[in-house]
Structure 1
Amino acid sequence: MVFVFQSALEQQINPNSEPEYSLNAQGQAEVILQQNRQGHYVTSGTIHEIPVTFLLDTGATQVSIPAHIADQLNLQATGQGIANTANGQVRIYQTHLNQLSIGNIYLYDVDAHINPGMKSDKILLGMSALKRLEFSQTGKQLILRERN
């Protein structure tokens, strides 16, 4: 009973634990995401082929990775700075992602930062990644498509 309830709860938080993907008529990789109960787009993906959970955030300039996840991914800080977030200014550390993926969409050489103040287990998938994709929303569905 607990297993069934936990699975149902996880599905409400991340309805895209196995995102639906295909190639469209033009041969472009395409991923279809469903909104969660809170109206967000959360999906499973990978960074450096290690499974992670992304929260799509068009308001975030870069991909933003909580420090505890950055440690698990063995990411190296290459510089530091200050970021303005919904919770005020925070010190962040620049890093670089060789590869990230969602479904059959792969992005290479993506700028990101490590945010020690984030306690979430989700990575904010910001515009340093999303600007490389086409995306369109219809109802409670978001279609991500690789650019030619």
Structure 2
Amino acid sequence: MNSQDSIKEQKRMGLGMMILAWMVFLGLGILFFGDVLEKQFNPNQRLDTQYSKAGMREVVLQRNKFGHYVTSGTINGQPVTFMLDTGATGVAIPEAIARKLDIPRGRPYRTQTANGISTSYAASLDSVAVGEIELRDVQAGIAPGLAMNQILLGMTFLKHIEFTQRGDTLILRQYL
């Protein structure tokens, strides 16, 4: 191999290493900023539950940058993302999420939504939890027309707990 071939080989290796370095840099950037954006949408991914001596459980939620209370939680022990909605009568589960969670459709019923009248399907959830605030046997609806990646946590859950909003904070309390 002559010196010209050696120089070409070194340039080709250098270019390959530079491309690899940029790919790693971009990949790390996507991971970092994806996490930042997710935390802006759901600032309540990791919840701490406080306990009082009187047997009260308390979870504090922060409002997201869009003005909503979005939080991680569970349905039947499986992780989900909730958007708290005091204007919703019940827990509304998008059909795609209900399929992932293996929640069967019950009887159909008519619902009044912001977009008009729709058909939902009754469902009974064994458990619904936000932090360690948990309710059993919660009635819900599977909503085929609900095109979102969160479950609307409405009053069939919220009416059983106390909640107080102050500024950008929502405090949920469950008395045992």
Q: What TM-score range do you get, normalising by the shorter chain?
A: over 0.9
Look up the match of 1:4: 32
Is the deviation greater in 124-133 or in 74-83? 74-83
- Aligned partner of 1:77 among 105, 118, 138: 105
More strand by share: 1
1:89 positional shift: 1.0
Q: TM-score normalized by structure 1? A: 0.97
Moved beyond 4 Å, runs of 4+: none
Distance in structure 1 (CA, Å) of the matches to 2:65 and 2:53: 31
Give, in whole Å, the separation in 2 of the partners of 1:40 and 1:24: 27
For the 8 Å contact 1:132–1:147, the answer to whether it is kept is no
Number of residue pairs aligned between Structure 1 and Structure 2: 148
Gaps of 5+ in 2: 1-28
- Does the 8 Å contact 1:20/1:33 carry over to 2? no
1:15 alignment partner, SS class: coil
Select between 66-75 and 19-28 the one with higher mean Cα deviation. Answer: 19-28
Distance 1:62 1:135 in 2: 16
Q: Give me the identity figure in percent.
A: 46
For 2:69 and 2:42, how far apart are their aligned partners in 1?
A: 8
RMSD of equivalent CA atoms = 0.9
Q: Which residue number corresponds to residue 45 of structure 2?
A: 17
Q: Could you say which residue in structure 2 is the equivalent of 1:27? A: 55
- 1:89 aligns with one of 106, 109, 117: 117
Larger RCO (CA under 8 A, 6+ residues apart): 1
Contact 1:46-1:52 at 8 Å conserved across structures: yes
Q: Which residue of 2 aligns with 1:64?
A: 92
Preserved CA contact (<8 Å) 2:126 2:136: yes
TM-score computed with the length of structure 2 as normaliser? 0.82
1:47 aligns with 75
Aligned twin of 2:130: 102
Q: CA deviation at 1:24?
A: 2.5
CA offset at residue 29 of structure 1? 1.0
Deviation at 1:35, TM superposition (A): 0.2
Structure 1 residues without counterparts, runs of 5 or longer = none
Residue 61 of structure 2 contacts residue 71 of structure 2 at CA under 8 Å; is this kept in 1? yes
Larger Rg: 2
Tell me by how many angstroms 1:135 deviates: 0.4
Quick one: distance in 2 between partners of 1:58 and 1:19?
A: 20
Equivalent position amino acid for 2:31 in 1: F
Higher fraction of helix: 2
Query: How far off its partner does 1:147 sit?
Result: 3.0
